[in-house]
Amino acid sequence: GAVVSQHPSRVICKSGTSVKIECRSLDFQATTMFWYRQFPKQSLMLMATSNEGSKATYEQGVEKDKFLINHASLTLSTLTVTSAHPEDSSFYICSARVVAGLEAFFGQGTRLTVV
């Protein structure tokens, strides 16, 4: 299957700082990328859907000014957690959908710890 690379895999940051997570589709073009967060022993919760060249669509309850999403090209989307707090500590996962396709491929996830 197609490969989605997420970077970094782990990051520890201080409270109040911002962290950027990258999601790249390595061997295909993705018009749509999705960002999820996952708490321990829970399912993946969709945060936002980003389409290349347009503003992301955020799910209800997700602060768009806190979780900045940029999808500037068909192979790269970034999620920036701004002014991070300990409650933002979580596992963040991106997925990418091929052009005119249904299947979504997932990155390996980023473990964010805010101290």
Partner 1 sequence: GESVGLHLPTLSVQEGDNSIINCAYSNSASDYFIWYKQESGKGPQFIIDIRSNMDKRQGQRVTVLLNKTVKHLSLQIAATQPGDSAVYFCAENSGGYQKVTFGTGTKLQVIP
The contact set with partner 1 (CB under 8 A) reads 1, 4, 6, 31-32, 34, 36, 39-46, 49, 86-87, 89-91, 93, 95, 97, 102-109, 111
Nearer to partner 1, 75 or 110 (CB): 110
Task: Render the burial of 21-58: b for 16+ CB within 10 Å, e for the rest.
Answer: bbbbbeebebbbbbbbbeeeeeebeebbbbebeeebeb
DSSP count for the chain of H helices, then E strands? 0, 11
CB of 59 to partner 1, least distance (A): 8
Q: What is the CA radius of gyration of the chain?
A: 13
Nearer to partner 1, 56 or 75 (CB): 56
Comparing C-alpha atoms, which of 68, 79, 64 is closest to residue 24? 79
CB of 46 to partner 1, least distance (A): 6
CB of 104 to partner 1, least distance (A): 5
Nearer to partner 1, 65 or 87 (CB): 87
CB of 51 to partner 1, least distance (A): 9
Nearer to partner 1, 75 or 109 (CB): 109
- Rounded CA separation 11/4 (Å): 18
